Amino acid sequence: MYIKTKYSVGIRGSIEQHENVRELLKAIDEQFVTSNKALASTLIMMFTSLKLTGIRGVREHVMEMRDIVAQLKKLEGEMFESFLCTLSLTLFRLSMDLSKSLTTHIRISVYQGIDDHVCSRERKVNDGARRKCYAGDAKEMKERKISSQSEREATNFSQI
């Protein structure tokens, strides 16, 4: 049968001879059933074993991570956004020493891949402390930034 010659040797040897194409495809489907748990486990292992090398850039690495997260979402696996972001940043830090601005950029990129609304919620404050900032806190954070800038300008002006 012509169709059977196009399959790999491993599949050909394990499937009985069928005259009807539908029966052949049905037998192949029954024998090679994939498990969602096994696929999810494989994706999680791929995600945790990703390493940033100097050959590929940060962008390609983040895109690959976003792709794996999207595949995990399709499987409807319960994964928390904070866990994924923390894990991805840990993997980045293990791979290379990141500056603060690059860390913030990566955090935002990973959050966008996980959930778009989370990206706007976490920002870095001038003093280096991380904190969650929700819709009500955004105005306060802007005022804090403006007041800290004006204080610095005032001290610089008084030193002249």
Query: In 3D, which of 38, 50, 35, 62 has the Cα closest to residue 91?
Result: 50
Question: What DSSP string describes 96-108?
Answer: SPPPHHHHHHHHH
Average the pLDDT over 87-107 and give the result: 58
- Asked if 27 and 9 sit in the same domain, the reply is yes
- Asked if 100 and 142 sit in the same domain, the reply is yes
Structure tokens at 56: 């590929």
- Asked if 72 and 151 sit in the same domain, the reply is yes
Residues written for the chain: 160
Total of domains in the chain: 2
Which residues, listed in sequence order, are joined to residue 123 by a DSSP beta bridge? 131
Average pLDDT, the chain: 63
pTM above threshold 0.85: no
- Asked if 83 and 23 sit in the same domain, the reply is no
- Asked if 82 and 23 sit in the same domain, the reply is no
| pLDDT grade for 135, boundaries at 50, 70 and 90 | very low
- Domain carrying residue 19: 2-31
**DSSP tag of 136:** T
